[in-house]
Amino acid sequence: MPSRDPRVVIIGAGVAGITAGVVLEQAGFENFVIVEKGSDVGGVWHWNRYPGLTCDVPSQIYQFGFAPKPDWSQIWAEGSEIQRYHREAIETVGKRIAVIGSGSTGVQVVSALQPQAAALTQFARTPQWVLWAPMGLRQPRLVAKLLAAAPAAHQRLYSTLLWGSGILADIALKPTWRRRAAQQLARWSLTTQVRDRELRTALTPDYEPFCKRQVLSGTYHRAIGADNAALVTEPISEITETGLRTADGTHHDLDLIVFATGFHPHNYMRPMNLRGRDGLSIDEAWAKGPRAYRMTAIPGFPNLFTVLGPNSPTGSISLQYSAELTARYITQWLERFRDGEFETVEVTEEATVRFNDSVAEAMGPTVWNTGCNSWYFTEENTIDLWPFDRKTMTALLTAPDDRDFLIGHKDGNLR
């Protein structure tokens, strides 16, 4: 049977799209195009342009396995280094600034703008646990030179860090001594850095550390405790021409408002009007929330696969590792299609239900399920994360299991 040349469209040029393109090309699939609605590649590193933007994952693990970078300037790289783009200049010196939001973005913006602001006020509905970390620590040039000169050593470092990241997964997935120790460190970070009792009380969450996406900073507590900074927990009632008003009637005069209120993390490919078998829309398929089989296949959508789809491991396993593993999994289906083995492939509803039931069961002892209201939760009150370790992910995505799929052939039969 003659070999076929599949035509592939990759939608999005962030981490997932870039990974898919490189892995497909490495496997010999060159007839593909990557489409991106933005003016540049990089995903969140293109769209995010706020002052102080920093990755909260160490640089030497926040990289693709197929593109090692030995010369990161910092242990935790700034956004401008991860994605080269022109940052919108915002004049903040001597201004009265409001920062709305208390997650990673809000914490980073507060830390970056406080020193040069006339006054900075952070408006936060709920406080976050902020774990102290030396985010400004730079990677020595000697380390960069050594890693560049010894690619094998660089690969060993990457592999070691990948293995070590299993500790974070252990903290997230099971109530072990590691979780208790890490949570105590978060509490210590607050009590030792914020001496003002009233401010410390306002900054103390009523949930366990690591229940939400953990915020890292080496400067936030000092910044919010500065003389020109203030924390306001009153709800905001309106934005006015000269500032904003809180529910208690207080008007806050401002020159600049920074919104650090996050994304819509469960939309995935939406608002695209994606249609599957018999005209099924993705909104209809996900009417009760986003769901997929092993992060990558959706029932009702033959020949469609996702990289970093529902239940992707935000905060517990390297996203780059997960993306590469998933892309290689998809490549195996493409190789079989190229060889004429089938015409269509679609995951079954039964397999998807079985996988999602196992996710729900495994989510029980995770730290994300200990009583906080985080962006990890969907509108249907399910946690959209990966509740298994990296070993399990690797086992599930090493090779397709044909028993979980409807495989269509030229004669129209499914088998």
Pairing of strands 96-100, 229-232: unpaired
Q: In this structure, is residue 45 part of a structural domain?
A: no
Which range of residues forms the domain containing residue 317?
Answer: 277-408
In-domain check, residue 304: yes
User: What pLDDT does residue 85 have?
Assistant: 30
Give the strand pairing for 405-408 and 251-253.
unpaired
The pLDDT assigned to 63 comes to: 82
200 and 98 within one domain: yes
DSSP string, 40-78: SS-THHHH---TT-B-SS-TTTSS-TTS--TT-SBSS-B
| pLDDT < 50: residue spans in the chain | 85, 87-90
**Whether the Cβ atoms of residue 305 and residue 297 lie closer than 8 Å to each other:** yes
**Residue 207 and residue 296 in one domain:** no
Residue 151 confidence (pLDDT): 92
Residue 89: its pLDDT value, please?
A: 34
Q: Rounded CA gap, 177 and 98, in Å?
A: 39
What number of CA atoms fall less than 13 Å from residue 45's CA on the CB side? Answer: 20
* pLDDT score for 87: 36
> CATH number of the domain that 360 lies in?
3.50.50.60
Contact yes or no for 90/66 (Cβ under 8 A): no
| DSSP sequence for 264-315 | -TT-TTTTS--B-GGG-BHHHHTTT----BTTTB-TT-TT-B-SS-TT--TT
Question: Is the pTM value of this prediction over 0.85?
Answer: no
> Quick one: 185 and 95 in the same domain?
yes
Q: Which two tokens stand for residue 133?
A: 């970390």
**Distance from C-alpha of 245 to C-alpha of 249, rounded to nearest angstrom:** 6
The domain total for the chain is 2
* 157 and 290 inside one domain: no
pLDDT of residue 92: 62
Has residue 15 been placed in a domain? Answer: no
243 plus 313 within the same structural domain: no
For the CA atoms of 229, 134, 214, 262, the dihedral, rounded to the nearest 10 degrees, stands at: 60
In a domain, 69, yes or no: no
Residue 12 lies in a domain: no
